[in-house]
């Protein structure tokens, strides 16, 4: 019995390994890797030597000045995205009023550039409200949406006289009214609502169970509050015209009810954010496990299948204006709070291959990068396009598993990816790092990278790289320090 179990174990493992390798080969043959969008999608090109460039700047040269890894912001793309959100679409009488979601990429240099383009600030925390004020954003350019607002920050928002103070739950109404009474101010407030079939719970009051209606009724009964707005995020990705149409329909239907039953003519409809980035694909836990098991990368979503900024703004404005024309009432102001759709594709994370191992029996080589989940946590659940910074002539395509430098098995960025052959020290560009990469980054074993702006062939620092001293700056004296 003991001998039989000892023999069976190794043989079974060997059989499973053989079967897995055979299955991988079949899957790769039947479903070969699909190429993603070309570098030109992100305004990148290659010079005669195969070096990847942005506005004439060789990305590889940035390592020499700023180290690796490093975030690179494309100033021209960032300005282009802002202009597209602000523009009045054809067929509409006006455009959206735009407030950038600070939490998405809270780098002051990025925020300043957006504010110079006429974009306001959408803050979801006391820190972000403070930062907007510190950056010189005028109160009429601020929206405050924190789900659990500390009393001091509410007092600050009321005292400043910001554009819109959105209340996340009915429980906020009485305390905010009391603060307003104490300060002798009448703040402009909105109520956050959750549409039917949308994600709710911690965000907003539900429309379909009557909670949202009751919250508006209670707020309107408070003379200290100037109830002017309705605020809503879908709380999940908006990628198609159909998804946006359903969201708008629910909001407009509820706004009609507020008018007919509470005599509330909304001055502002705040549609939040949630517009998808076309070149980023969500990857569920099952898909990630299949990548590992099958040694095969699922095809990313086609960018053409996702609403563009222009189409989003056009559909929003025309839908709302036509609705209000049909009911014979003036259309309210329309606020948008874009995050990832504004900045994701305007930034990339450059890194290097710190270790390249030979391929295993299934033909997959392991590469350890100098950037991991400490600075690219989003890659656990999203697919981001990847490019070699230098393209060698006739370099064969290889299969790789890309991991990060932190000492944990969970630091896997790409379980399976096909790339031109990599060598030690080669540079890679991880695209679309402008949404949540920076705020989600940590000092887990390594300092955080610099953020650099490239525009018109020139580059300069927006945020310097963190140092070891920065990592312990808040701690008490180090043992043995002189």
| Same domain? 320 vs 359 | no
Backbone angles phi, psi at 80, to 5 degrees: -65, -45
155: in domain: yes
Q: Are 144 and 167 in contact (CB under 8 A)?
A: no
**Is there a cis peptide before residue 69, judged by omega within 30 degrees of 0?**
yes
98: in domain: yes
Structural domain ending residue among the three candidates 343, 371, 387: 343
Look at residue 17 and tell me whether its pLDDT is greater than 70. Answer: no
Query: What is the CATH number for 232?
Result: 3.20.20.10
447: in domain: yes
| Same domain? 178 vs 279 | yes
| pLDDT single digits (tens) 83-126 | 999 999 999 999 999 999 999 999 999 999 999 999 999 999 99
| Same domain? 308 vs 430 | no
Closest CA to 231 of 209, 244, 212: 212
Cα 100–chain centre separation: 12
The C-alpha atoms of residue 357 and residue 376 are separated, in whole angstroms, by 22
265: in domain: yes
The C-alpha atoms of residue 119 and residue 343 are separated, in whole angstroms, by 12
| Same domain? 299 vs 429 | no
The C-alpha atoms of residue 469 and residue 480 are separated, in whole angstroms, by 15
Average pLDDT along the chain: 91
| Same domain? 252 vs 264 | yes
| Same domain? 92 vs 67 | no
Q: How much is the pLDDT for 298?
A: 74
20: in domain: no
| Same domain? 417 vs 322 | no
Q: Are 451 and 463 in contact (CB under 8 A)?
A: yes
Structural domain ending residue among the three candidates 343, 360, 390: 343
Mean pLDDT for 364-368 is: 95
Closest CA to 158 of 230, 217, 226, 219: 226
Percentage of residues in the chain having pLDDT higher than 90: 81
| Same domain? 339 vs 350 | no
- SS3 (DSSP) at 95: coil
Q: Are 6 and 244 in contact (CB under 8 A)?
A: no
Q: Are 101 and 112 in contact (CB under 8 A)?
A: no
| pLDDT single digits (tens) 51-81 | 999 999 999 999 999 999 999 999 999 999 9
Angle CA 473–70–300, to nearest 5: 125
19: in domain: no
Structural domain ending residue among the three candidates 343, 370, 402: 343
| Same domain? 377 vs 316 | no
Look at residue 5 and tell me whether its pLDDT is greater than 80. Answer: no
Instruction: Tell me the longest C-alpha to C-alpha distance in the chain.
Output: 86
Residue pointed to by tokens 């525009």: 455
Mean pLDDT for 1-25 is: 54
Q: Supply the pTM of this predicted model.
A: 0.91
The C-alpha atoms of residue 58 and residue 349 are separated, in whole angstroms, by 14
58: in domain: yes
What count of Cα atoms within 13 Å lies in the side-chain half-sphere of residue 77? 22
| Same domain? 273 vs 151 | yes
| Same domain? 273 vs 409 | no
Residue pointed to by tokens 């002051």: 108
Which helix (H) or strand (E) segment is 142 a member of?
A: strand 142-144
The C-alpha atoms of residue 114 and residue 99 are separated, in whole angstroms, by 9
Domain span at residue 437?
27-71+345-466
Q: How much is the pLDDT for 3?
A: 46
Q: How much is the pLDDT for 235?
A: 81
Structure tokens at 102: 């600070």
Query: What is the CATH number for 423?
Result: 2.40.37.10
Look at residue 418 and tell me whether its pLDDT is greater than 60. Answer: yes
| Same domain? 56 vs 114 | no
| pLDDT single digits (tens) 155-165 | 999 999 999 99
Mean pLDDT for 442-446 is: 95
Number of compact structural domains in the chain: 2
236: in domain: yes
Q: How much is the pLDDT for 36?
A: 84
Give helix 151-160 / helix 126-134 axis angle, nearest 10°: 30
């Amino acid at each position: 019995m003991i001998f039989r179990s000892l023999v069976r174990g190794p043989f079974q493992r060997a059989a499973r390994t053989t079967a897995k390798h055979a299955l991988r080969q079949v899957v790769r043959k039947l479903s070969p890797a699909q190429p993603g969008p070309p570098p030109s999608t992100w305004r990148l090109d290659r010079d005669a030597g195969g070096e990847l460039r942005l506005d004439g700047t060789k990305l590889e040269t940035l390592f020499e000045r700023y180290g690796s890894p490093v975030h690179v912001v494309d100033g021209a793309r960032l300005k282009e995205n802002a202009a597209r959100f602000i523009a009045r679409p054809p067929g509409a009488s006006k455009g959206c009023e735009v407030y950038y979601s600070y939490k998405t990429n809270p780098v002051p240099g990025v925020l300043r550039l957006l504010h110079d383009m006429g974009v306001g600030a959408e803050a979801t925390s006391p820190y972000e409200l403070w930062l907007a004020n510190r950056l010189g954003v005028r109160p009429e350019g601020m929206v405050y949406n924190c789900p659990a607002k500390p009393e001091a920050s509410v007092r600050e928002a009321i005292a400043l006289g910001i554009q819109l103070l959105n209340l996340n739950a009915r429980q906020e109404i009485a305390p905010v009214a009391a603060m307003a009474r104490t300060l002798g101010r009448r703040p402009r407030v909105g109520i956050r609502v959750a549409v039917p079939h949308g994600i709710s719970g911690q965000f907003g009051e539900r429309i379909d169970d009557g909670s949202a209606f009751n919250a508006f009724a209670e707020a309107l009964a408070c003379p200290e509050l100037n109830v002017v707005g309705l605020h809503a995020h879908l709380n999940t990705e908006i990628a198609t015209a159909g998804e946006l149409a359903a969201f708008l329909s629910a909001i407009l239907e509820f706004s009609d009810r507020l008018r007919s039953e509470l005599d509330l003519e909304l001055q502002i409809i705040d549609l939040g954010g949630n517009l998808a980035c076309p070149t980023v694909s969500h990857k569920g836990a099952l898909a990630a496990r299949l990548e590992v098991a099958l040694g095969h990368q699922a095809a990313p979503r086609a960018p053409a299948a996702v609403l563009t900024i222009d189409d989003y703004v056009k559909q929003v404005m025309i839908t709302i204006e036509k609705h209000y024309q049909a009911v014979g009432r003036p259309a309210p102001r329309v606020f948008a709070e874009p995050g990832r759709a504004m900045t994701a594709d305007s930034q990339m994370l450059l890194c290097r291959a710190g270790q390249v191992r030979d391929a295993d029996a299934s033909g997959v080589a392991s590469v350890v990068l100098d950037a991991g989940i400490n600075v690219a946590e989003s890659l656990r659940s999203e697919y981001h396009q990847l490019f070699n910074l230098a393209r060698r002539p006739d370099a064969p395509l290889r299969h790789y598993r890309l991991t990060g430098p932190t000492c944990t098995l969970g630091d896997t960025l790409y379980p399976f990816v096909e790339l031109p052959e990599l060598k030690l020290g080669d540079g890679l560009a991880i695209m679309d790092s402008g949404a949540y990469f920076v705020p989600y980054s940590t000092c887990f074993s390594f300092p955080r990278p610099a953020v650099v702006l490239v525009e018109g062939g020139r580059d300069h620092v927006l945020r310097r790289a963190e140092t070891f001293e920065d990592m312990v700056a808040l701690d008490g004296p180090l043992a043995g320090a002189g």
